[in-house]
Amino acid sequence: MSETDKVFSGPIPEFYERYLVPLIFDPYARDIAARVAVARPQRVLEIAAGTGIVTRALVSQLPVTTQIVATDLNPPMLEHAKTLIGQDDKIEWKTADAQNLPFEDESFDAVVCQFGVMFFSDKARAFKEARRVLKSSGQYYFSVWDKIANNEFAELVTQALEEMFPNDPPRFLARTPHGHNDIDILRSGLKGAGFTSISADAVDARSRAPSPWEPALAYVQGTPLRNEVEARGPARLEEATTRASQAIAERFGTAEVDVRIRAYVVTAARSDRDADYSSVG
């Protein structure tokens, strides 16, 4: 993983929230919040909260007495999230590294991480930290994107930029968001961290936009892919966005676009019982 893969700064948070959140994150935020709500936790830790899409879903679905601690490694993302949600006494915002959580042992009923695990350089340590801060029989919920071939916008954008930069293609989307979906590897890491009752559900959704331009903006300018493109020439960002838009239009037309997306939602229990591992895919 490149170090720039973790950098969500400058204009990225604004583009991320405006274009990427409604394009791909919203249905999964509602899904994972509903899973957490079943357990009716009293204190929830959210890791990699980004601009707060899951935070907002948790607030809407959890009891009013539930306290949420929303964290992210990138302060600009949290600042953007706070402006969207406003003052809410149920939410505490904190900059934190998932691999070194600044919380006491057994202090949360649930830990939630939507599409953040892929960015952990040391997943084994991050999993151990998640288990450490969970109370006995607490639950860890996280999601990862499936392979890029099952997420058509991301695949087309990646292909378009490979053609634009044939000698040094930007590979952020394939390398990081869509590069960590091996459920067996994830299950093994969770088992090694001491989790039990591990399950993984494949969740399909649709990604829709008014035209090909919106998903091109979302992926090229609203993710760290922007950092890779600008490193190859700041003046080429608009060209890259146009090329990505053209690639999507060639496949799906110039009007409203509607494509498939797929992710896995993984749950695991902090328990001292003998392990019971299963996967549904």
Q: Is the pLDDT of residue 280 over 50?
A: no
Confidence at residue 272, expressed as pLDDT on a 0 to 100 scale: 63
Strand partners, 113: 142
* pLDDT at 186 > cutoff 90: yes
Can you count the helices (H) and strands (E) in the chain? 11, 7
At residue 35, does pLDDT exceed 70? yes
Mean pLDDT of 98-120: 97
When pLDDT is averaged across residues 216-245 and rounded to a whole number, the result is 96
For residues 7-35, average pLDDT: 95
Q: 6 vs 115, which has greater pLDDT? A: 115
Identify the residue with better confidence: 118 or 87: 118
Per-residue confidence (pLDDT) for residue 2, from 0 to 100: 77
Looking at domain 3-270, does it have CATH number 1.10.1740.10? no
Mean pLDDT, rounded, for 197-222: 97
Residue 273, pLDDT score? 54
* Cα–Cα distance, 187 to 195 (Å, whole number): 9
Confidence grade of residue 26 (pLDDT, cut at 50, 70, 90): very high
Domain locations in the chain as residue ranges: 3-270
Q: Which helix (H) or strand (E) holds 93?
A: strand 91-95
